[in-house]
Amino acid sequence: MTIASASSTATHIALTTLFSAVQDAHLLNSTAGILGWDQETMMPNGGAELRSRQLAQLARLSHETFTTPKMGEYIAAAEDAVRSMPADCADAVNVREIRSDYDKATKLSSSLIAELAQTGSQAQHAWVEARRESDFKKFQPWLEKTVKLNILKAQCLGWPKGGEAWDALADYYEPALTAADVTKVFEPLRARLQKLLDRIRGASKKPSNAFNEFALPIDSQEKFVRYMAKRIGFDFNCGRLDRSAHPFCGGSHSRDVRMTTRYTETCVFDALGSTMHESGHGMYEQGLDFAQSGLPMGSAAGLSVHESQSRMWENQVGRSMHFWKWARPQLSAFFGDACDHFTLEHLYQAANVVEPGLIRVESDEATYNMHVMIRFKLERDMLNGDMAIKDLPGIWNQLYKDYLGVTVPDDRRGCLQDVHWSMGAIGYFPTYTLGTLLAAQLFEKARKDVPGLEDGFARGEFAPLLSWLRKNVHSEGRRYRLDELCRKVTGEPLSADPMMRHLEAKLLPLYGLE
């Protein structure tokens, strides 16, 4: 055997050993993903207590499997093996990102991981009950425990000098993201959005909102949105669509993606918007490399990139005139002649009405990011001790008055509307806005790269956009971080300008403000 072939064999063994061990550990996480989906969709209430213990055990076992000293040895050997490889080749990326995950994971104890998982499961069940009864006090003890555990988690992880606890938690959702980074984006963005909203509020022309108040049977809505998800590209051979209190996308790997949505009798756009949003997540997951499942190259590039996929399909596609030129005739197949009196213009206007409201997932594009900014402020205040948990409803309600000018009537439509904090997902919310900015920037580039892209939507042709995303985003796994991916694909750093161009080009004519 030559020296070169011996070296090649050693490299292969080092990488295969590490990757197999990591994929084995991931099997436990993927199993937990299915149990989590079941908890939100089909599990009877009586299963909540044992389910929390099941998820805690899986979290503990996964953590222990991934953080053994032997895993550290495998990583070190693999690092030696890829040292001469290009930094962005698949093997080198896998090793780099596994090292990053390992270094974070080894700072946390298995007991803390298990307690976070068990608390998250129990808190979600308590949240569903509290939300149903619109009673924050029933959820308050669980949120207090969740925040305390997340503070402990942040302390174990640590954060850069000059930073804060929020930074350590946000790193799990968007690597290296800090509260200072978010603030630099949010403060000028809020001012720009507020200026646009003030102009819209003062407009004499108002688009029709009638379709958003029109009752349609939920069974028919369910068939309609399932059809839409399939047409834009979600593969039901490798996924599902079910109902839950809060829409989400989960599952275990690219060939088993579990989405949920929710329905309101008087607003089909609620179900359609949330379904197209979750389909964006689902198609991203289905576009990841199955052979790399459990490895960084078979994983999403972070939640901001994930949100860019969902927000793009929901907004740039689902709220466009081109989409509704195709979608309007489809209504009769599911609702008969019930919608015949609504014109194309009625539907397009209803999809783009700007009306500050209470619910983030039902909000329009112009106000959506205000909802995110409120949650970001509240998260930081809870973690930094600047707000007592018991005061959350009152402070939430005041911020909604300050940011959006609306009065919150109850907890269900106030601080109990989102599932995230019950899951322990603190540090997540800003990725919605960062993803919204990226969605607009990516879509601008896709329009340039694919001539006639939007004209195709009017014919029900969505494969060209999905193919472009598969090539430029999905196939890259975790090769690039947020800003690096943005620069690579669009040639520019992440910016709010494309989103503002998108909003102004659409909304100003609708409100007679050109």
- The CA–CA distances, whole Å, from 437 to 249, 309, 362 equal 21, 11, 18
- Tell me, yes or no, if 133 is annotated catalytic: no
Looking at residue 10, its pLDDT comes to: 85
The domains of the chain are located at 3-158, 179-510
DSSP strand pairing (249-253 vs 256-261): antiparallel
Q: 71-125, pLDDT tens digit by residue?
A: 999 999 999 999 999 999 999 999 999 999 999 999 999 999 999 999 999 999 9
User: Which tokens hold the place of 89?
Assistant: 């080749």
Q: Kindly state the tokens that stand for 274.
A: 């949330």
What is the reported pLDDT for 2?
52
Note whether 266 and 221 are within 8 A (CB). Answer: no
Q: How many CB atoms lie within 10 A of CB 268?
A: 26
Closest by CA to 408, choosing from 371, 372, 358, is: 358
Assigned token pair, 125? 């069940």
Amino acid 183: pLDDT? 97
Residue 328's Cβ-side half-sphere holds a number of Cα atoms within 13 Å equal to 20
Give percent helix, percent strand, percent coil of the chain, each to the nearest 5.
70, 5, 30
Rounded-to-integer distance, Cα 215 and Cα 268, Å:
8
Among residues 174, 222, 278, 314, the one annotated as catalytic is 278
Q: What pLDDT score was predicted for residue 267? A: 84
CA–CA distances in Å: residue 27 to residues 256, 278, 295: 13, 23, 11
* Cα distance between the two ends of the chain: 74
Predicted confidence at residue 8, as pLDDT, reads: 80
Q: State the pTM of this model.
A: 0.94
Confidence bin at 9 (pLDDT 50/70/90): confident
pLDDT tens digits, one per residue of 345-362: 999 999 999 999 999 988
For 179-510, CATH gives 1.10.1370.30
162 — alpha (psi -120 to 50), left (phi > 0) or beta? left
Q: Is 217 exposed, middle or buried (0-12, 13-18, 19+ CB in 10 A)?
A: middle
